[in-house]
Amino acid sequence: MRKYLIPNGGRFYKVALHTHTTVSDGRLTPEELKDEYKKRGFSVVAYTDHELIVPHNDLRDADFLPITAYEIAVADGKWGPFTKCYHLNIYFKDKDTALSRTFCARHVSSKEHMQALITDEMRAYGTESREYTKEFIQWLVDTAREEGAIVSYNHPVWSLQDKDDYSGLRGFFGVEWHNSSSSGIGMIDAIQPIQDLLLEGERKCYPLATDDCHSLKDVGRGFVMVKAERLEYDDIFDALDRGDLYSSTGPEIKELYVEDGMLVIKTSPVKKIIGFTDHRHTLRKMAGEGEYITEASLSLETFIRNVGLAPEGRMPFVRMDVIDEYGRHAYSRAYFADEFLNVDGIRKNANN
Which CATH number belongs to the domain containing residue 219 in this structure?
Answer: 3.20.20.140
Angle, CA 138 vertex, CA 136 and CA 141 arms, to 5°: 115
Q: Is residue 4 part of a domain?
A: no
Contact between residue 298 and residue 261 where contact means Cβ atoms under 8 Å apart = no
Q: Are residues 88 and 19 in the same domain?
A: yes
Q: Is residue 5 part of a domain?
A: no
Q: Are residues 165 and 271 in the same domain?
A: no
Q: Are residues 226 and 258 in the same domain?
A: no
- Structural domain range at position 346: 253-350
Q: Are residues 308 and 330 in the same domain?
A: yes
Last residue of a domain, one of 248, 277, 301: 248
Q: Is residue 98 part of a domain?
A: yes
**Cα-based torsion angle of the residue sequence 41, 210, 66, 97 in order, rounded to the nearest 10 degrees:** 170
Angle, CA 296 vertex, CA 291 and CA 298 arms, to 5°: 135
Per-residue confidence (pLDDT) for residue 262, from 0 to 100: 98
Q: Are residues 232 and 286 in the same domain?
A: no
Per the structure, the count of domains in the chain is 2
Q: Is residue 305 part of a domain?
A: yes
Q: What ranges in 107-232 are assigned the alpha helix state H?
A: 112-115, 120-125, 134-146, 163-166, 180-183, 192-199
Q: Are residues 143 and 46 in the same domain?
A: yes
Q: What are phi and psi of 105, to 5 degrees?
A: -60, -30
Q: Are residues 188 and 257 in the same domain?
A: no
Q: Is residue 46 part of a domain?
A: yes
How do the pLDDT tens digits run along the chain, 352 residues long? 899 999 999 999 999 999 999 999 999 999 999 999 999 999 999 999 999 999 999 999 999 999 999 999 999 999 999 999 999 999 999 999 999 999 999 999 999 999 999 999 999 999 999 999 999 999 999 999 999 999 999 999 999 999 999 999 999 999 999 999 999 999 999 999 999 999 999 999 999 999 999 999 999 999 999 999 999 999 999 999 999 999 999 999 999 999 999 999 999 999 999 999 999 999 999 999 999 999 999 999 999 999 999 999 999 999 999 999 999 999 999 999 999 999 999 988 877 7
Last residue of a domain, one of 248, 282, 304: 248
Q: How far apart are CA 50 and CA 176, in angstroms?
A: 17
Last residue of a domain, one of 248, 279, 306: 248
From the centroid of its chain, how far is CA 160?
19
Q: How far apart are CA 6 and CA 243, in angstroms?
A: 9
Q: Is residue 301 part of a domain?
A: yes
**Cα-based torsion angle of the residue sequence 304, 309, 315, 316 in order, rounded to the nearest 10 degrees:** -50
Q: Are residues 260 and 241 in the same domain?
A: no
Q: Are residues 190 and 317 in the same domain?
A: no
Q: Is residue 61 part of a domain?
A: yes
Per-residue confidence (pLDDT) for residue 1, from 0 to 100: 87
Q: Are residues 191 and 297 in the same domain?
A: no
Q: Are residues 157 and 275 in the same domain?
A: no
In this structure, what CATH number is given to the domain that contains residue 271? 2.60.40
Q: Are residues 286 and 174 in the same domain?
A: no
